[in-house]
Amino acid sequence: MSLPHSFDAEDASERPKVLLVDDDDLALMLTAEALRGRGFDITEASSGEQALAMLTEWTPDIIVLDAMMPGLDGFDTCRELRESPGFENMPVLMLTGLDDEVSINRAYQVGATDFFVKSTQWSLLAGRLRHVLRSARTRQELERSKSKLARAQDLARMGSFDWRKPGSGSHHPTGGLTLALEALRVFGYTAQDRVSMRRLVRMVPLPERSGMTRVLAEVQSKNTVLAIDVPVNLPDGRMRIVHVEAEPEFNEHGHGIGYTGIVQDVTDRRVAEDRIRHLANFDALTGLPNRRQLMWRTERALDHARRLGHLAALLLIDLDRFKVINDTLGHAAGDELLVEVARRLRACVRHSDQVMDTALESASGRSHRTLEAVGRLGGDEFVALLPEVADEADAERVSTRILTAMRDPIFVGGQECFVTASVGIAMYPRDGMSVADLIRNSDVAMYSVKDAGRNASAIYSPMLAGHGRKKLELESALHKAIERDELVLHYQPKIDVRSARMVGVEALMRWQRGDVLVPPGDFIQLAEDTGLIVPMSDWLLREAARQVKEWQVNFGFADSIAVNLPNRMFERSDLVEKIHECVSAHGVPHRSIQLEITETGLMKDLQNVIPSLHRLTEIGVEISIDDFGTGYSSLAYLTTLPISELKIDIQFVRDLGITPQSSAVVTAIIALARSLGLRVIAEGVENLRQMEVLHRLGCGVMQGFLFSRALPPDELELWLKQTVLPRKAPWIVQAGADRPEPLGSSGGRRL
């Protein structure tokens, strides 16, 4: 017999270690020789005692024992071996005689893995050894993978179970539940616990128990696959969610005999899933349904209303002047306020917090009521969805409730805030058949409330939409006004009545829109809102500088043109450069541009505006404070601000000579200006009486209809030529009477 054997390929890398035990020297010698030649690594022992002694410090892959030996025979040796730790699964091959059935039986009794009848057919012995070794290895791998599986199941908090219907098979005559150790652990039990189906069912909290038993019964009666998540109270009091998944098993007649499946603790996954679902559907700040969830609910509500033919309402709620609160108190306070507003709004409807993204269980009934909610669309915009209303009045009642709920002050950032809201209402189906239509139209209604002064509600009507469209048209037209050169400047002269001379002009913007001259009141606010005010102001500065140059050439104009800038322009770091560019382009001095900023605008943003004011003053651009007396100037700041002029507000001038208070205010302003070294000018002077009083109180420079309205540049030139130079106007006579010195001698050059 030759050496290379078919089995050798498998074990090429290693020669199996064999302990060969036989008391017969000859048999030992021959067997060892034969097996060595067939790829085994043989160690010989001539008695059971010797073999056991060797095994205390060395472990072979397999042991071959001769059954019949003097002293400790093969059976005793095997029995002792099996009792030693580490040798429980050691493969042992017992060598017996063929005619010795008793020995064969004994071999198995003492735990031999297999027996082999002694023969000189060595290849048969070698084959048997390989077979036993392979079985042992397979068994080892099985054991290993079994314990790996157990470990994996433990990690996954998963375990298997087996359930048999009563009387369904010979193995389970009474039916019953068998839980693997890992499955027991899922339920908080150990291997010692006896766990019946009834005991497990009792772990499910009562509210869920009946639903679960119903599902179990249903699945079982139809022999369908079971897959449910069940909450359970563990013996230690913890509440967990267990996923149960099982498949039915059938006997040869196709009858369901039970279920085999797994249980898994999915609490963590469920908690995470719920959290994700909540994040996706609810606003993180206020906890209200977010836009997505609102849209979803509204869709469902409209479906329902369509089917059952009832009305629904959508209320769009926008806080009034929320931006101001955010800007003045900071975003943290703004957030705090939104949270409180959300809390109040929630109380105004039958708010439901349920996350919903699956179809409602039943189409009829009151299920659609659970759709009702207040949600946050974003920013300071909220929506109240009323899935069923009887009429408009129903919706208005809710909006009234909302406006009332806002009435109490809200404490944020350590102070009391008063918040109002504007509410727009759109009714399904009248104001829109789709979610998008209803949102848009409630938005239109809400803006009509804003335009009408806020803090109210309005129901959508097509007329409101018309308003909105007009505004939209105006906005897009204004965009084009600059490029189409439709903006124009008119100029109102400033007059020094003592000398009856023009000492400067104020530039006022007009919009020449086709044949219509649009006054600033109709478009400046829109320009502010849309940000168009910035390019418009740039244009204003360029145009004013150009006009200075033109007049310089035409009639020696050497005063300044005052332009009104919104205070956001003063916040821009490039304002100084911009003015410098404009005047340089036309070769006129910096001081030919004067800037007017309103008192309110200045004080609102003092810290941001001051640096600009200083740099403007440094290059010679004078600053005038407009509408002085209407705001709340800090007198302390006033003394340090780099300003040149105070402009008395029109309302004090109008009341001069009528109410004593107004002359008191004017007197005070003039005194203040004088002591601070500032010029003072009065605007809105319409009659001689006002002029006289102002003059008497010490204010000599004025502007107003008494002298001239704001005029296009060429008309202003004409006015100068025809009215001022010939000294024909009544105010000139008056002024001249007061101040008898001739005007022409000193002022001719300047005009």
Residue holding tokens 């969805």? Answer: 385
Backbone angles phi, psi at 15, to 5 degrees: -95, 120
Q: Pairing relation of β-strands 487-496 and 701-702?
A: antiparallel
Q: What's the CA gap between 610 and 638, in Å, rounded?
A: 11
What is the closest distance, in whole angstroms, from the C-beta atom of residue 41 to another protein in the complex?
17
42 or 449: whose CB is closer to another protein? Answer: 42
Residues whose CB is less than 8 angstroms from the CB of residue 24 and which lie 6 or more positions away in sequence, other chains included:
66
Provide, for the chain, the percentages of residues in helix, strand and coil under a 3-state DSSP scheme, each rounded to the nearest 5. Answer: 50, 20, 30
In terms of Cα–Cα distance, which of 243, 232, 229 is closest to 158? 243
User: What Å distances lie between residue 456 and 406, 700, 750, CA to CA?
Assistant: 11, 47, 56
**Distance in Å, CB of 95 to another protein, minimum:** 9
The backbone torsions φ and ψ at residue 587, rounded to the nearest 5 degrees and listed phi first, read: 65, 35
Count of CB atoms situated within 10 Å of the CB of 675: 9
What minimum distance in Å lies between the beta carbon of 166 and another protein?
54
Which contiguous run of DSSP H or E holds residue 154?
helix 122-155
∠ Cα 362 367 372 (to 5°)? 145
Q: Which three-class secondary structure state does DSSP give residue 164?
A: strand
Q: Which is nearer to another protein, 29 or 517 (CB)?
A: 29
Query: What CA–CA distance (Å, rounded) separates 555 from 720?
Result: 10
Burial of 666 per CB tally in 10 Å (0-12, 13-18, 19+) = buried
Considering the complex, state which of residue 100 and residue 392 has its C-beta at the smaller distance from another protein: 100
Nearest approach, Cβ of 196 to another protein (angstroms)? Answer: 55
* Local structure of 377: helix, strand or coil: strand
Residues in contact with another protein by CB under 8 A are 1-2, 23-27, 29-30, 33-34, 37, 68, 70, 97-99, 117-122
Identify the three-state secondary structure at position 64: strand
Let me know: does 507 contact 562? Beta carbons within 8 Å. Answer: yes
Give the nearer residue to another protein in terms of CB position, either 118 or 344: 118
Q: Give me the least distance between CB of 23 and another protein, in Å please.
A: 7
Distance in Å, CB of 125 to another protein, minimum = 13
Q: Among residues 124 and 433, whose Cβ is nearest to another protein?
A: 124
From the CB of 25, what's the least distance to another protein, in Å?
A: 5
Residue number with CB closer to another protein (31 or 598): 31
Report the nearest approach of another protein to the CB of residue 121 (Å): 6
Name which of 3 and 206 has its Cβ closer to another protein: 3
- The CB-of-107 to another protein minimum distance in angstroms stands at 16
Question: What's the closest the beta carbon of residue 131 comes to another protein, in angstroms?
Answer: 20
Cα separation of 263 and 249, whole Å? Answer: 17
At its nearest, how many Å lie between another protein and the CB of residue 17?
21
Strand partners of residue 258: 164, 249
Q: Which one, 71 or 330, has the nearer CB to another protein? A: 71
If the CB atoms of residues 99 and 483 are measured against another protein, the closer one turns out to be 99
- Please report where in the chains the tokens 């001069």 appear, as a residue: 656
Cβ closest to another protein, residue 38 vs residue 368: 38
Of residues 120 and 746, the one with the C-beta less far from another protein: 120
Give me the least distance between CB of 12 and another protein, in Å please. 21
CB of 70 to another protein, least distance (A): 6
Residue 465, both tokens:
């939409």
- Taking the complex as a whole, the smallest distance from the CB of residue 22 to another protein amounts, in Å, to 9
Q: Which is nearer to another protein, 70 or 462 (CB)?
A: 70
Sign, Cα dihedral of 656, 662, 667, 672: negative
Quote the CA–CA distance of 596 and 525 in Å, as a whole number: 17
Smaller CB separation from another protein, 80 or 100: 100
Based on CB atoms, which residue is closest to another protein, 70 or 86? 70
What is the three-state SS of 168-237? CCCCCCCCEEEECHHHHHHCCCCCCCCCCHHHHHHHCCHHHHHHHHHHHHHHHHHCCCEEEEEEEECCCC
DSSP letter (8 states) at residue 39: T
Burial letters 708-734, b for 16+ CB under 10 A, else e: bebbebeebbebbeebbeeeebebbeb
CB of 97 to another protein, least distance (A): 7
Whose Cβ is closer to another protein: residue 76's or residue 715's?
76
- Residue 471: which of 536, 534, 528, 526 has the closest Cα? 526
Q: Which of 422, 329, 409 is nearest to 382 (CA)?
A: 422
